[in-house]
Amino acid sequence: MRLKFTKMHGLGNDFVMVDGITQRVKLSPEKVRQIADRHTGIGCDQLLLVEAPRNPDVDFRYRIYNADGSEVENCGNGARCFARFVRDRRLTSKEHILVETAAGILELKVQEKDQVSVDMGAPVLEPSAVPFQADIQAESYPLDVNGETYNVGAVSMGNPHAVLLVDDVSKAPVDSLGAAIESHPRFPARVNVGFLQIEERGKARLRVFERGVGETRACGTGACAAMVSARLRGLVDDEVQIALPGGTLTIHWPGPGEPVTMTGPTASVYHGQIVL
């Protein structure tokens, strides 16, 4: 199979974008791993597949594969790149794009200077729906990990997130603790793990260990989940600039029951073909 693709990134969170509308695409977990391998393939955090929608009221279907070949529900940085990709490929000329995902409908708005805003929908806080094992809903939960107890927020932005507050994100044990929490039995679908440092009510710093990937330079849903968790704890206002290793996202959330809006840049790196 000869596959045309575009390499893109959002704040260094990098993607292989594949047009499944104008070319035939059949992907297996093995093929996704082959593409994502940074030594023998193209290399990426996720592969994003554009398909025709099954829902007649939306413009596209958007599927997301992690580097390990697993299919996941949502990816905020990927959603922004998706919006630019379908316009660059002339699959649409719309600036307001509705996209079907495994987590529901996303609303994408293309702005000036390669900025894209994404209506990420309302966060899910009910533990069983995250999913997270807890008797009642709370702002944070004690979690025992390797003999230590950590307080974590549990939020779903279409995919599950655990959020830990840290004093200095540069010193946080992202690899070791992130991996331990990712596979914690209280998160039955595994979990993305965010390490959040609050600088002031409108500014924060974040590093994210993504399930099936490891630490990435940016995670859009992770930034949304971190902001929601911090706001539930009364630590931030309704708009926060969140600095990740790859750059800064603006996250806006009025409060429970309301959608989260994420705004940030996109970049197209190169186009190519790969034979699988």
Q: d(Cα 155, Cα 48) in Å, to the nearest integer?
A: 23
Residue 28 neighbours by CB distance under 10 Å:
10
Contact (CB, 8 A) for 6 and 91? no
The first and second tokens of residue 168, run together, are 């200095």
75 is catalytic: yes
219 catalytic residue (yes or no): yes
- Buried b / exposed e across 75-94, counting CB within 10 Å, b at 16+? bbbbbbbbbbbbbebebeee
Structure tokens that stand for 16 in this block: 């292989």
Residue 36, phi then psi, degrees to nearest 5:
-75, -15
d(CA 70, CA 52): 21
Spot the catalytic one: 44, 75, 81, 224.
75
Cβ atoms < 10 Å from Cβ of 39: 5
Q: Active-site residue numbers?
A: 75, 219
